[in-house]
Amino acid sequence: MFEQIAANKRRTFYLLFGFAVLVAAVVVAFNLFINGGVVGFIIAAVIATGMSLFSYFNSDKIALRMSHAVPADPKQYARYHNLVEGLCIASGLPKPRLYIVNDPAPNAFATGRNPQHAAIAVTTGLLEKMNRVELEGVLAHELSHVRNYDVLVMTIAVTAVGIIALMADFFLRFMFWGGGRRDDRNNPGGAILAGMGLVLLMFAPLIARLMQFAVSRRREYLADSSGVSLTRYPPGLISALKKLKDDTTVINSASKATAHLWIEEPLNTGSKSVSTKFNNAFATHPPLDDRIAALEAM
């Protein structure tokens, strides 16, 4: 398990590095068009640094607001609080902040930058449709994301993907309205670089989304296995995943930006259990059938 976590963290570093490189490439491409020179690179570096710091410290708040999550009252949601407290004692984790999303679809997610600054949100539908052992399995899965430090990269991905998409959209609009280079006719090399930059700007959001999907899919299998090792009762999470698979309710509080955070695909993609190369490439989660089979084989 510890080897898997270490490998997971290495992959996290590579993916975060990939996000940083993609952001830098988008900025460089735009700088080539406007002939920004050294000053343009300095300004871009300052903006990118500020965006990174903002993402690190505020991504969890953004994810919770986007999901319409509100703090869970300890008296009204006593079972929810009690189960998390018991799991935290067993795992040695500090108790995260607990939130409720008023939505009939059963789902849950974890967010935050580390175990000391983490939060878990569950829908009212999850609390209503899961029995105690199933709910414990789902909460153990989410706490495993916290313990494995998945929440940092998964939460930052919410703002990172959005930033890349906004940057690319702004730069393309800027160039479309006449803000591009003017001297490429006498500079064939510059024209080639500008063309490559234009292609990058067009495909950067798609590349960022694919990287976001890869971040999520790899971590779900590890969180499933870590969750059942925490509860020591695999049938609980297996039964919960089967209920999620059979439930056809689509959550209204999710968006493409936060879809990878939830325990299962919250959007109506029609591919909950269909495993094809095309679906897997554009899905935020591995198929539930594959996750259930992996747990049953433990």
What would the two tokens of residue 257 be? 């930006």
pLDDT single digits (tens) 158-175: 767 767 767 666 666 666
Which range (92-96, 165-169, 231-235, 264-268) has the least confidence? 165-169
Amino acid occupying residue 262? W
What would the two tokens of residue 221 be? 């299998």
Best mean pLDDT range from 29-33, 55-59, 96-100, 251-255: 96-100
Report the pLDDT averaged over residues 182-186: 50
- pLDDT of residue 280 exceeding 60: no
Length of the chain, please?
Answer: 298
Q: pLDDT at position 193, please?
A: 54
Burial of 212 (0-12, 13-18, 19+ CB in 10 A): buried
List all residues 6 or more positions away from 249 whose beta carbon is below 8 Å from its beta carbon: 104, 105, 106, 125
**CA 200 – CA 178 distance, rounded (Å):** 19
Four-residue CA torsion sign, 52, 54, 58, 62: negative
Confidence (pTM): 0.78
What would the two tokens of residue 220 be? 């779900």
**CA angle centred on 121, ends 115 and 125, rounded to 5°:** 150
* Beta strand spans in the chain (E): 69-71, 97-101, 108-112, 118-123
What would the two tokens of residue 48 be? 């990118």
Q: How confident is the model at residue 248 (pLDDT cuts 50, 70, 90)?
A: confident
- pLDDT of residue 110 exceeding 80: yes
Q: Mean pLDDT in the chain?
A: 79
Q: pLDDT at position 255, please?
A: 73
Amino acid occupying residue 127? L
**CA 248 – CA 265 distance, rounded (Å):** 11
Q: pLDDT at position 100, please?
A: 98
Domains of the chain: 2-64+155-213 (no CATH), 68-151+216-296 (3.30.2010.10)
Mutual orientation of helices 188-231 and 2-34 as an angle, nearest 10°?
160
The catalytic site residues sit at: 142
State how beta strands 118-123 and 97-101 pair: parallel
